[in-house]
Structure 1
Amino acid sequence: MSTTGIPPRPAPAHPASADPVPARPDAGSYGYDIERVDPRAPGRLGDAGPARRGRRRPWLRWASFGVSFLLLALAAVVVGLYVILPLGIGTSLVAFTAALVPVAMVLAAVWWLDRYTPQPRISLLYAFGWGAIGSVLLTLFFGTFFDAWISPPEETAAIDEFLGAVVQAPVIEEGMKSLGLIGLLIWGRRYISGPLDGVVYAALIAGGFAFTENILYFGSSFHQAQAAGEVDVFWQTFFLRGVLSPFAHVSFTSLCGLGLGIAAERRSLMLYFGLGLGGLSLGMVLHAVWNGSAFLLPVDPEAPLAGFLRYYVSVQVPIFVLLVAIVLFLRLREKRILRRQLSEYGRAGWFSPDEVEMLVSMRGRRRAEAWAVRHGAVARMGMRHLIRSAVALGMERHGVLFGKPTAKTRARERELLEMITADRRLIGALTTPVVRG
């Protein structure tokens, strides 16, 4: 097993002895793995040494999230008072209800992507909150200065509208949305540790931004419909933004998330700048192309949507299909990674072959939770926590193989193995009959 870096599990300690069994001297070919003892005995994995002393305090991370959510709440009040409420209560309710349709599509897609290697819920809430509140407020603030900076001394209304849609909106909006991804990277690599993680968080941020933006667009079109006495303006806006393009912002921002995720997996500072800026720039270009189509496409007065639909089918649909193919590939890639890494731990004695198959299969996980729930809610929570810890263990090890093992990575592996061991004992205690037949 010296080629894998995971030492084999030694024989369990003698029942009469309280001392842990020492690890084999040839274990751990690159000095990463912790010393192995009996996996059935939590707390007997050996002394953690100085690795724990350098770990970040858990309360510091929670305090950071608390301050962030407080700032987002204040920003929500500002956006509500100065942006949403001026539309009027009735118009705001209509626009809010209409905006729920496209955001529900985005959230359903993100849920499907994230359920295989689920992320912490608090970080997912932060991502959506940043997109819906923080990035919108910063866009409104900095967009005004940027628009004044790029505007020529003598400009017409057409030039101002074109520069605002094709230059100002892509640069400022994509930049402000990407700040949320940078915040997650600052708080910890465990949030964005691979390409799919970056796409998930970027999609949530973009979905939140589009949700607030759609409220503004739907509210404005509803006002126009009321003034004209016709509902065609509102339904046309709803069809274009809510039905045809619910994933437009998601496609733009996901490119930056994809680049940052690849860099996080490779643990390369240069890739953070190169791929991050590259993905951000490409997202800005696609955003500009999307907005610019309204100015460049010929408009037929008798069929105003015909030209846009031809452009949509020939340009935007292939781009969206390509991005979907990339996301599906990343999903299958994570399954292969998880199977490979957990199989290594299985050969070291931490998992049986059946357990590995269960952990890499969504159907297997559901069956395991269904079996556990027959023994109570606590057993189900233990099974769910065991599955999540095992998934985190496999993905964490995959990331370490690309970089240099550190005391922090060793402590993280130890922490996950201890949690898995404790969950095993909890589930075993709740599912084993007290009196055998």
Structure 2
Amino acid sequence: MWRRCLWGGIVSWALAAGATYLTQNSTLLPTLILLGSFLVPAVFVLWAYERHGEDLGPSLILGSFLAGGILGVLGASVLEYYLLHRTSVWLFLGVGLIEEAVKLGALMLVLRRHHAVRGRRAGLVLGATVGFGFAAFESAGYAFDAAVTLDGIDLRALLETEVLRGVLSPFGHGLWTAITGGVLLVHREPGGRFRFPPTVVGAFLGVAVLHALWDSMRGIAVWLVARVTDDRTMDAMSAQGYLEDATDQQQHLFTLFSVGGTVATTLVGVWWLRVLVLRSRRERARAVSATGARRSP
């Protein structure tokens, strides 16, 4: 099913993009934005559901996706508006803490009446679902913002934004919230009460740091270029994350540091998730083995 949805969505998005380009009809923009923003997150959620979460039920999956998207984006936007004001690299740590906390809160809200839903596998699937819901709605906002300019509709910027965020979305919010969700639910009590031992708090803080590094990597790259080339006039650019009047050497170093840092951050997150998935598989295998042993005479 997920493969058919993926290819069908890609074809539909390409047709919508072509029709919008040919007709210059702005009424097609909502269709184009929604298809591009929701395609990859929805397909990954469908894949996770078919492979690992059919016992959770479609209603819980859909509720998690919508809660992560609607409540998560709204909550994060309001908190960031009132709590974060200073523009700096440290601002991104605040963004990471707020957005990861809001997504985790959305997951807990969805599960408040599902006391039996616990364990690492359920947390990984539902956490990823909440994260992908957040990513889908956030991407729609970024796509709309890229499309609307003072000179009219910038279709090229819209398409570039959707392609870039679509390619990167599996390594962002879905990955981060899968990690925190998996750790949270493995410590959930049988009666449904959520516990926050140091393991859960550490996972939350670790994911928030990964989130902050992902968002601030361009600014960090500018700071590193300034140190390597001993050009302290670039320090003011680090908060904005771009270079002005840079030499070829500085441009090359900026690309190396920004891309390399993003890849390194992604690999750490993927490795962390992989460790949790392997633990979940071992736990499930032990549970199946124990069930078989009890049934045998």
* TM-score greater than 0.5 by the shorter chain: yes
Are the structure 2 counterparts of residues 163 and 306 from structure 1 closer, same or farther at C-alpha, using a change threshold of 3 Å? closer
Partner of 1:312: 262
**Aligned with residue 57 of structure 2, among 106, 120, 129:** 120
Alignment of 1:83-162 (within 5 A): 90-115=28-53, 118-147=55-84, 151=85, 159-160=86-87, 162=89
- 1:248 is aligned to 2:172: yes
**Aligned with residue 172 of structure 1, among 92, 98, 103:** 98
How big is the shift at 1:243? Answer: 0.7
Are the structure 2 counterparts of residues 187 and 276 from structure 1 closer, same or farther at C-alpha, using a change threshold of 3 Å? farther
Question: Does the Cα contact within 8 Å between 1:131 and 1:205 map onto a contact in 2?
Answer: yes
How big is the shift at 1:122? Answer: 2.2
CA distance in 2, matches of 1:210, 1:278: 23
Partner SS for 1:186: coil
Are the structure 2 counterparts of residues 276 and 185 from structure 1 closer, same or farther at C-alpha, using a change threshold of 3 Å? farther
Question: Does the Cα contact within 8 Å between 2:36 and 2:163 map onto a contact in 1?
Answer: no
Alignment of 1:43-122 (within 5 A): 90-115=28-53, 118-122=55-59
Question: Does the Cα contact within 8 Å between 2:171 and 2:266 map onto a contact in 1?
Answer: no
327-336 or 301-310, larger mean C-alpha shift:
301-310
Deviations 1:405-432 (A, max 9, x none): xxxxxxxxxxxxxxxxxxxxxxxxxxxx
Deviations 1:43-86 (A, max 9, x none): xxxxxxxxxxxxxxxxxxxxxxxxxxxxxxxxxxxxxxxxxxxx
Are the structure 2 counterparts of residues 210 and 225 from structure 1 closer, same or farther at C-alpha, using a change threshold of 3 Å? farther
CA distance in 2, matches of 1:270, 1:173: 19
Are the structure 2 counterparts of residues 278 and 327 from structure 1 closer, same or farther at C-alpha, using a change threshold of 3 Å? closer
Question: Does the Cα contact within 8 Å between 2:175 and 2:269 map onto a contact in 1?
Answer: yes
How big is the shift at 1:272? Answer: 2.8
CA distance in 2, matches of 1:341, 1:189: 23
Are the structure 2 counterparts of residues 135 and 344 from structure 1 closer, same or farther at C-alpha, using a change threshold of 3 Å? same
Partner SS for 1:129: helix
Rg (Cα) greater in structure: 1
**Aligned with residue 218 of structure 2, among 270, 286, 294:** 294
Partner SS for 2:170: coil
Alignment of 1:357-396 (within 5 A): none
- Scaled by the length of structure 2, the TM-score of the pair is 0.70
**Aligned with residue 341 of structure 1, among 281, 286, 290:** 290
- Scaled by the length of structure 1, the TM-score of the pair is 0.49
How big is the shift at 1:89? Answer: 5.0
**Aligned with residue 222 of structure 1, among 132, 141, 147:** 147
Partner SS for 1:198: helix
**Aligned with residue 280 of structure 1, among 204, 208, 214:** 204
**Aligned with residue 270 of structure 2, among 313, 321, 335:** 321
CA distance in 2, matches of 1:259, 1:226: 48
CA distance in 2, matches of 1:183, 1:229: 38
Alignment of 1:33-44 (within 5 A): none
Aligned residue type for 1:160: T
Question: Does the Cα contact within 8 Å between 1:95 and 1:215 map onto a contact in 2?
Answer: yes
How big is the shift at 1:325? Answer: 2.1
338-347 or 262-271, larger mean C-alpha shift:
262-271
How big is the shift at 1:211? Answer: 0.4
Aligned CA-pair RMSD: 3.3
CA distance in 1, matches of 2:148, 2:108: 37
Partner SS for 1:196: helix
Aligned residue type for 2:210: L
How big is the shift at 1:220? Answer: 1.4
Residue segments in structure 1 that go unaligned for 5+ positions in a row: 1-87, 152-158, 349-437
Deviations 1:378-424 (A, max 9, x none): xxxxxxxxxxxxxxxxxxxxxxxxxxxxxxxxxxxxxxxxxxxxxxx
CA distance in 2, matches of 1:297, 1:225: 31
CA distance in 2, matches of 1:235, 1:309: 21
CA distance in 2, matches of 1:176, 1:236: 28
Structure in which a larger fraction of residues adopt helix: 2
Aligned residue type for 1:257: G
Question: Does the Cα contact within 8 Å between 2:63 and 2:110 map onto a contact in 1?
Answer: no
Question: Does the Cα contact within 8 Å between 1:167 and 1:288 map onto a contact in 2?
Answer: yes
Deviations 1:211-242 (A, max 9, x none): 000001111122259759672x3344234321
How big is the shift at 1:178? Answer: 0.6
Question: Does the Cα contact within 8 Å between 2:189 and 2:195 map onto a contact in 1?
Answer: no
- Aligned sequence identity (%): 19
Question: Does the Cα contact within 8 Å between 1:94 and 1:219 map onto a contact in 2?
Answer: no
Alignment of 1:185-196 (within 5 A): 185-191=111-117, 193-196=118-121
Question: Does the Cα contact within 8 Å between 2:104 and 2:177 map onto a contact in 1?
Answer: yes
Question: Does the Cα contact within 8 Å between 2:148 and 2:154 map onto a contact in 1?
Answer: no
CA distance in 2, matches of 1:230, 1:185: 40
Question: Does the Cα contact within 8 Å between 2:120 and 2:280 map onto a contact in 1?
Answer: no
Question: Does the Cα contact within 8 Å between 1:263 and 1:269 map onto a contact in 2?
Answer: no
CA distance in 1, matches of 2:46, 2:114: 26
